[in-house]
């Protein structure tokens, strides 16, 4: 095996040290500002949509449904199409999995950071994006996934260690915080009488449990991930 390639693999799978100083806190603040912003959020929200639809797709495959297509749109909406029983636990789990997916992925990333595996996190994230790419069936979706994967791979292989650490913290915080705002946005739409075919409404039809209770479940899942993931991320800065 080529020595340079072997060294690259060693660096990828070996533990990386915690970032110095206030990097976890500063990147958390920046991610929160991004999520609370206007136009920057609308652009960055494409990443949340990718993860949302990937959550639907991943669970659909896990429960035995046949995944047919993922479409990502320029208004940051998306749709995942799978074939199988139109009702039952598998369909309910598929419908449930979209909104929690960004915060859950953020929690997984926070766990990898706590285990000092930031470079591995970047490469795994790029591979996950490429896995989504296989099922994307529209041009805008292909573009957003390819750009996101290229950025992640570039940082993983070429950026200095300090930049990698800050970037990893930033995207992890963004996934955690970014998993909450869409739930709040959906609740606002439902209060105005819109979005009556949302994931929560589909869950209500599938389970007989009122959509408002499903909205509460989605909110609690997102907030729980923020709490646990946040504790993992700030630990190096406070200890």
101-154: pLDDT as tens digits: 999 999 999 999 998 887 778 877 887 898 899 999 999 999 999 999 888 878
State residue 3's pLDDT score. 47
**Using one digit for the tens of pLDDT, what is the confidence trace for 1-43?**
454 444 444 555 555 556 656 899 999 999 999 999 999 999 9
Work out the average pLDDT over 85-105: 95
Measured CA to CA, the distance from residue 197 to residue 202 in angstroms comes to 6
Q: In 74-213, where do the E strands start and end?
A: 78-83
Give the residue from 130, 129, 123 showing the smallest Cα distance to 159.
123
Average pLDDT for the chain: 88
Per-residue pLDDT at 20: 53
Q: Which residue has the higher pLDDT, 21 or 97?
A: 97
Mean pLDDT, residues 164-170 taken together: 91
Looking at the chain, the whole-number percentage of residues with pLDDT higher than 70 is 90
Residue 17, pLDDT score: 56
d(CA 31, CA 167): 11
- Tell which residue, 7, 14, 6, 17, has the closest CA to residue 164: 17
Q: Average the pLDDT over each of 119-128, 200-209, 223-232 and give the range with the smallest value.
A: 119-128
Q: Which long-range contacts (CB under 8 A, 24 or more apart) does 132-138 make?
A: 132/50, 132/53, 132/54, 132/57, 132/70, 135/57, 135/67, 135/68, 135/69, 135/70, 136/69, 136/70, 136/71, 136/72, 137/69, 137/70, 137/71, 138/71, 138/72, 138/73
Please name every residue paired with 66 in a beta bridge, in sequence order, or none if there are none.
83
Is 74 or 19 the better-scoring residue by pLDDT? 74
Q: Which residue has the higher pLDDT, 22 or 80?
A: 80
Q: Given this model, what pLDDT does residue 6 score? A: 44
Closest alpha carbon to 116 in 232, 239, 216 = 232
**Which pLDDT value is given to residue 198?**
92
Tally Cβ neighbours within 10 Å of residue 144. Answer: 23
The model carries a pTM of: 0.90
- Residue 171: predicted pLDDT: 95
Instruction: Give DSSP secondary structure letters for 125-138.
Output: HHHHHHHHHTTB-S
Q: What is the pLDDT of residue 237?
A: 57
Q: Which two tokens stand for residue 91?
A: 């369909």
Q: Which residue has the higher pLDDT, 186 or 163?
A: 186
* pLDDT of res. 220: 97
DSSP label of 209: S
């Amino acid at each position: 095996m080529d020595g340079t390639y072997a060294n690259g693999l060693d660096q990828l799978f070996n533990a990386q040290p915690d970032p110095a100083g206030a990097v976890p806190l500063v990147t958390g603040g920046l991610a929160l500002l991004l999520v609370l912003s206007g136009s920057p959020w609308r652009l960055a929200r494409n990443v949340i949509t990718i993860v949302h639809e990937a959550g639907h797709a991943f669970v659909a495959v896990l429960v035995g449904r046949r995944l047919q297509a993922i479409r990502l749109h320029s208004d940051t909406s998306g749709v995942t199409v799978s074939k199988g029983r139109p009702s039952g636990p598998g369909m309910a789990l598929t419908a449930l999995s979209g909104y929690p997916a960004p915060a859950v992925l953020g929690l997984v990333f926070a766990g990898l950071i706590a285990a000092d595996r930031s470079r591995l996190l970047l490469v795994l994230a790029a591979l996950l994006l490429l896995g989504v790419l296989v099922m994307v069936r529209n041009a805008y979706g292909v573009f957003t996934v390819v750009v996101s994967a290229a950025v992640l791979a570039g940082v993983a292989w070429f950026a200095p260690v300090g930049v990698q650490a800050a970037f990893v913290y930033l995207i992890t915080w963004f996934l955690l915080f970014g998993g909450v705002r869409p739930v709040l946005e959906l609740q606002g739409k439902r209060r105005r009488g819109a979005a009556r075919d949302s994931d929560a409404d589909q869950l209500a039809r599938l389970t007989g449990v009122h959509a408002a209770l499903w909205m509460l479940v989605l909110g609690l899942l997102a907030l729980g991930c923020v709490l646990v993931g946040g504790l993992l991320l700030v630990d190096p800065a406070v200890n």
